[in-house]
Amino acid sequence: MKTLIIAEKPDMGRNIAAAIEPKAKNMRSHLEGEQYIITWAIGHLIELAEPDHYDEKYKKWNINHLPIIPSEFKLIPNPRTYDQLKVIAELAKKCNQLVNACDAGREGQHIFSLIQRHLGLNQPVKRLWISDLTSETIRNGFATLKDGAEYENLTRAARSRSEADWLIGMNGSRAFTTKHNVLLSVGRVQTPVLALIYDRQKQIEAFSSLKFYELEGHFAQGETPYRGMWQGERFTDGEKAAALASKVKGKPARIQSYEVKETKEFPFKLYDLTLLQREANGKYAFSAKKTLDTAQALYEKHKVISYPRTNSNYVTEQNIPDMHKALNALQGTAYNELVQGANRNLVHINNKFICNPTKVEDHHAILPTNKKASGLSPDEQKLYDLIVRRFLSQFYPPAAYKVHTVMTEVEQELFKTTVKELLSLGWKVIYADQKKEKAKATKGKEKEDTDDEEEVEVNEPFSIDANGDVLCTDAIVKEKDTQPPKHFNEGTLLKAMESAGKQIEDEELRDAMKDSGLGTPATRAATIERLKKVGYIDMQGKKIILTQKGRMVVELIRGAGIELLTSPEMTGQWERRLNEISRGTASDDQFMHNVKRFATLIVDKVRKQARASKTDFEGENAPEATGKRGTASTKTTARGDGAPKATAKKRAPAAKPAGDGASTFIAMCPRPGCGGSLFMGRKGYGCSHYKEGCSFVIWKESFGRSLTDTQVQALVQKGKTTKLKLVLDDGTETEGKIVLKDVATGVLGTE
């Protein structure tokens, strides 16, 4: 009999067939060769059953029916992919061994496990665990297949994650929705992430700006000019600062102390997924989801990078030869000059900045493979370039600097000067052609983040005679304002999620926190997208803005006395426990026992809470009161955190007149002769005269964007938005303006 290989997606199945059964017959739903039959799962074929599969009464959302805690979770096939599940069942009958070739991670393990459980497959299982999809790696992986039993703990962790998310999502969302008569989504991970955004917003609102003054001294020793910042308490009185400037200006000075030391800057660490998402957001404004999707395409479709869903910045001893092969493969490409300057002796098993097996669990850092890249889209090329340059930098020496620290005294006042003199670029030569672009991109950040920046970087030699005469040629008072905390963007939010909200700059501490972050590298992008979809956050450019609905959800949860549900630290500890389960050092039964207790606590607390007013949810409509409140579907997300996902037939958003207080006025309806007003509904912007037959509606999700109120106002009043990054119907990514093509219906186009 043959061996049945189950991959996670068709592309991966075909890659495997090409490597180990190149003559396999293509049967559309599978490939069959002499030794192997290769098929695929198309993601999650099996789901946790909805509550109504346990009892018909759960079809109606009723707080008196809560908590819903199944004694045994039921599995049901996904109806959209049921045919493929039947294919796997039939193929399994012809095979005496299975190979789990789903993605090498917790969710890939879960997908295979659900199929195995639901179909009752009892054949022996082998596990394919590889980090890239090149033919060589696939063949090596099959030559060293692991026993499926070795991954039983990972299966337990995956199952616990899924069932815990179901319990918190189903019970939390149903409890808050039925209590407050507004569809509210609650989740094990999404809610504490929302709380991070809420707390930052409150800090911004509570901030009171203060004016202060800095004094910059300008000095000269012979032909050498330099600047220094006055050392003392921050000035809040401009007159005092001006008086001090007058006191020192034009006066002789002396060098109180002069210290010179050489320093080195080593290359940045190799990318894990979260770090890649953060940098792609900062440099290219890619969303976390876009970076993940693009990285997946580089991995699956083009096979030019290793497995991207990793949380490690290091490699193991086995990866060092692969890094050297990848370097050789870059010869003759656009990176050829950088390859020629690379020092291969710097990448070896004893270089702990690169090779640290203790910090590699499921997968090593993201690396280019030895396959030459071709046919990449512009966005794929941008991400590939980030990965390749980070990889190449490991083959270069550290950048070397001489740091000069000068303390200058004038009229008994001290000024400090720090000059960073470049000795050799080292690895920074990798980014030399991007220097101007990089400086432009970081200019605003430096202005905002470094109010009292004293360090100046220079390329030419700098030196001072510690005993020479100095003159204070000028003294300038700079007026500044204290700055509020910054709104999160997706990059900074990912960083906060990784450290469970703790402000951690130290890289070693950041590594230590990875086990207890919010979600995993594979799920964080989906969590952010989920918060957008349920209307809890909006985007203003790169800034993440909390909506009124998002604000209200956090306040209701905390007001009910369930602070733990919004606690990033607590949720981070849950993630740590799941990681411990996967290593066999914690009990999944104990974990689930605690989750069930917490789900019950949530329901008990919400039951006692007073109902919120409809007007508290600005711009949002309650579920329709048809006598079957809350009968919307609540399927749990495949890779998300289990918060129910309401689905409804596509219709014009139920925007209510201003008198209802349930929606936010946007603009007058542009439909000729209508006279109605536009309001923001759950899925779009509709007219208050919809009952009178006005069909004008602008859908919020248009051309790959979630439109903001300001953009809709621009469409209505000016006929077009400003220039935006768009996704056309055929999937093409471009830049352009969204235009209002039809003022009668709200149909949009692009320009």
By annotation, the residues acting in catalysis are 307
Give which of 539, 534, 519 is closest to 640, Cα–Cα: 519
What is the CA angle 201-203-208, rounded to 5? 120
Residue 692: both structure tokens together: 């009178």
> What is the residue type of 171?
N
Measured CA to CA, the distance from residue 630 to residue 185 in angstroms comes to: 12
Listed in sequence order, the residues at least 6 apart from 552 whose beta carbon sits closer than 8 Å to its beta carbon are 612, 616, 617
Q: How far is CA 283 from the centre of its chain?
A: 14
Measured CA to CA, the distance from residue 460 to residue 454 in angstroms comes to: 18
Strands 252-265 and 399-410: antiparallel
Give the helix ranges, DSSP H, for 487-585.
490-498, 507-513, 524-533, 548-559, 568-583
- DSSP 8-state code for residue 617: S
Measured CA to CA, the distance from residue 228 to residue 490 in angstroms comes to: 36
> What is the residue type of 306?
S
Q: Classify 508 as helix, strand or coil.
A: helix
Q: Got the DSSP string for 181-211? A: TS-----TTHHHHHHHHHHHHHHHHH----E
Residue owning tokens 């859908």:
699
Measured CA to CA, the distance from residue 666 to residue 663 in angstroms comes to: 9
Residue 693: both structure tokens together: 């037959």
Measured CA to CA, the distance from residue 142 to residue 145 in angstroms comes to: 5
Give which of 49, 71, 176 is closest to 592, Cα–Cα: 71
Length of the chain (residues): 751
Which H, E and C letters describe 631-700, residue by residue?
CCEEECCCCCCCCCEEECCCCCCCCCCHHHCCCCEEEECCCCCCCCEEEECCCEEEECCHHHCCCCEEEC
Residue 302: both structure tokens together: 């083009």
Q: Classify 261 as helix, strand or coil.
A: strand
Listed in sequence order, the residues at least 6 apart from 514 whose beta carbon sits closer than 8 Å to its beta carbon are 311, 498
Q: Which long-range contacts (CB under 8 A, 24 or more apart) does 683-691 make?
A: 683/650, 683/653, 684/652, 684/653, 685/653, 685/655, 685/712, 685/746, 686/652, 686/653, 686/654, 686/655, 687/655, 688/655, 688/656, 688/657, 688/658, 690/652, 690/654, 690/655
> What is the residue type of 251?
K
Listed in sequence order, the residues at least 6 apart from 749 whose beta carbon sits closer than 8 Å to its beta carbon are 738, 739, 741
Instruction: Compute how many other C-beta atoms are within 10 angstroms of the C-beta atom of residue 461.
Output: 9
Residue 313: both structure tokens together: 């910045």
Q: How far is CA 209 from CA 201, 206, 213, 544, 576, in A?
A: 15, 10, 13, 21, 39
Residue 341: both structure tokens together: 């300057």
- DSSP 8-state code for residue 547: -
Listed in sequence order, the residues at least 6 apart from 435 whose beta carbon sits closer than 8 Å to its beta carbon are none
